[in-house]
């Protein structure tokens, strides 16, 4: 399924699609060269927004859930990519522990865990679930919606203190599907004899979106030069505002000034592209954190000064009760894609350097300028026409599903490359990895 692109502003986007399709050999060569210099994240997902006049990533998740939402047709490709990823870190791997989020009673999330276990079992690994949650002190059954059962077991440190495993299970690889928002547990620190994927500094205890956005600025400039486009067509403008405590009304004026300055930059771009009638908006989001928490749409700088106590409270705390002190202000990219009159945005999944599928996040109660990653969202599998990497070069721009999906895959891989640079530059122990 390809959503209807509900906009008359298709000119720039179709031009972008055309340029990407014409430059496919150069783009694929460029990615191959980049992956010789940089290691891609073990896995990641990238949220895209298709505005008709630009196509840009708005979030890159290094601990992706939602693998259960990928189309089953893509499973063989997913398994193949997982094999390539495992070979890179532990060619003689036999055992793998998957560490899920600690809120593992969520049925949708448990289905994601089950799908991940299925993928890695099909690579030929023994796969078990391990948790550092203090509530998991013995093998604990978790019921899946289809009646099947998962069992999560407590992680333990080996007798010599150098390895992490289960009571009777010694893995080569520990795969985190827990984003460490609440902090890094002691049991996962100083693990050097096993592959810990992703590394600890990828978790929200240490990771900051501002570092990712800086890296993406570089990637977008390189890509723009490669195919001769304005990098803005794939890159939202952004800025950071630190030392903010909205609950106590600290830093609000500085935040409003930063929002106003970003609005000025966006309006200048709109004027450059002849979109004087379009009303810009920005997204406020925490510099760390996920699950769409603490995200707000702002259409005028005055709204920052006039936040209600309830809005301030909602913006002040994210997952696991972590307080927000640094905010990202990001150019709002409206989504003009829709399915059955509900707004939609594509989410692309990758393992190692390969696109393995994706889905459309759809929300019937949200607008084109709002965050769709919120309660009430639904998911429509995006099959990438069986093979995302084979665009139809003879089709007219905007008419072929394979071409739309290929372009999604290219822009999502830009986000993955930026994550790779980000991880290199923020590694606290570069000599260890």
Counts for the chain of helices (H) and strands (E), in that order = 9, 19
**pLDDT for position 320:** 57
**pLDDT for position 290:** 64
Give all strands (DSSP E) within 302-413, no chain letters: 327-331, 337-339, 342-351, 354-363, 378-382
DSSP letter (8 states) at residue 243 = S
Alpha helices in 53-133 (DSSP H): 75-89, 107-121
**Mean pLDDT for the stretch of residues 410-414:** 97
The pLDDT-based confidence of 387 (bands split at 50, 70, 90) is very low
- Residue 393, Cβ neighbours under 10 Å: how many? 12
Q: What is the CATH topology of the domain spanning 241-332? A: Dna Ligase; domain 1 (3.30.1490)
**What are the tens digits of pLDDT across the range 256-294?**
889 999 999 999 999 999 988 788 999 988 888 765 567
The whole-angstrom distance between residue 134's C-alpha and the CA centroid of its chain comes to 28
**What are the tens digits of pLDDT across the range 145-158?**
888 999 999 999 99
C-alpha distances (whole Å) from 89 to each of 27, 117, 345, 349 are 26, 18, 33, 20
**What are the tens digits of pLDDT across the range 113-141?**
999 999 999 999 999 999 999 999 999 99
Residues 149 and 418: their CA atoms lie apart, in Å, by: 37
pTM above 0.85, yes or no: yes
Q: What is the CATH topology of the domain spanning 71-205? A: Rossmann fold (3.40.50)
Compute the mean pLDDT over every residue in the chain, rounded to the nearest whole number. 86
Segments making up each domain of the chain, as ranges: 1-62+209-236+334-425, 71-205, 241-332
- Residue 351, Cβ neighbours under 10 Å: how many? 26
Residues 401 and 408: their CA atoms lie apart, in Å, by: 11
Residues 406 and 384: their CA atoms lie apart, in Å, by: 8
C-alpha distances (whole Å) from 77 to each of 87, 97, 172 are 15, 22, 23
Kindly tell me the burial class for residue 268, based on how many C-beta atoms sit within 10 Å of its own C-beta (0-12, 13-18, 19 or more).
exposed
Contact at 8 Å (CB) between 358 and 349? yes
- Residue 13, Cβ neighbours under 10 Å: how many? 23
Residues 225 and 223: their CA atoms lie apart, in Å, by: 5
**pLDDT for position 241:** 82
């Amino acid at each position: 399924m390809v959503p209807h692109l509900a906009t008359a502003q298709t000119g720039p986007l179709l031009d972008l699609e055309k340029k990407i399709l014409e430059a496919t050999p150069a783009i694929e060569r460029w990615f191959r060269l980049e992956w010789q210099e940089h290691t891609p994240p073990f896995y990641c997902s990238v949220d895209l927004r298709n505005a008709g006049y630009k196509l840009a990533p708005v979030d890159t998740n290094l601990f992706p859930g939602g693998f259960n939402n990928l189309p089953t047709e893509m499973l063989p490709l997913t398994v193949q990519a997982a094999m390539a990823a495992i070979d890179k870190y532990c060619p003689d791997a036999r055992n793998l522990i998957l560490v899920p989020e600690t809120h593992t009673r969520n049925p949708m999330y448990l289905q994601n865990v089950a799908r991940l276990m299925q993928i890695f079992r099909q690579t030929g690994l023994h796969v078990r679930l391990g948790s550092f949650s203090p509530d998991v002190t013995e093998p604990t059954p978790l019921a899946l919606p289809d009646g099947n059962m998962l069992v999560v077991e407590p992680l333990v440190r080996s007798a010599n203190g150098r390895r992490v495993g289960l009571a009777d299970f010694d893995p080569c690889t520990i795969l985190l599907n827990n984003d460490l928002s609440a902090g890094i547990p002691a049991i996962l620190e100083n693990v050097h004899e096993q592959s810990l994927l992703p590394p600890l500094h990828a978790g929200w205890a240490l990771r900051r979106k501002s570092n990712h956005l800086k890296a993406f600025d570089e990637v977008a400039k390189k890509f723009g030069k490669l195919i001769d486009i304005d990098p803005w067509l794939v890159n939202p403008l952004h800025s950071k505002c630190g030392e903010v405590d909205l609950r106590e009304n600290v830093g609000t004026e500085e935040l409003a000034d930063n929002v106003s300055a970003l609005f000025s930059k966006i309006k200048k771009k709109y004027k450059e592209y002849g979109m004087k009638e379009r009303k810009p908006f920005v997204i406020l989001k925490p510099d760390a954190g996920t699950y769409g928490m603490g995200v707000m749409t702002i259409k005028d700088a005055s709204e920052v000064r006039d936040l209600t106590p309830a809005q301030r409270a909602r913006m002040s705390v994210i997952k696991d009760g972590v307080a927000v002190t640094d905010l990202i202000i990001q150019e709002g990219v409206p989504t003009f894609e829709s399915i059955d009159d509900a707004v939609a945005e594509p989410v692309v999944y990758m393992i190692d350097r390969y696109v393995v599928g994706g889905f459309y996040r759809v929300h019937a109660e949200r607008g084109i300028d709002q965050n769709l990653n919120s309660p009430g969202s639904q998911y429509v599998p995006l099959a990438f026409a069986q093979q995302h990497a084979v665009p139809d070069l003879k089709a007219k721009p905007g008419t072929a599903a394979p071409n739309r999906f290929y372009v999604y895959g290219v822009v999502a891989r830009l986000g993955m490359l930026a994550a790779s640079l980000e991880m290199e530059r923020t590694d606290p122990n570069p000599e260890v990895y």
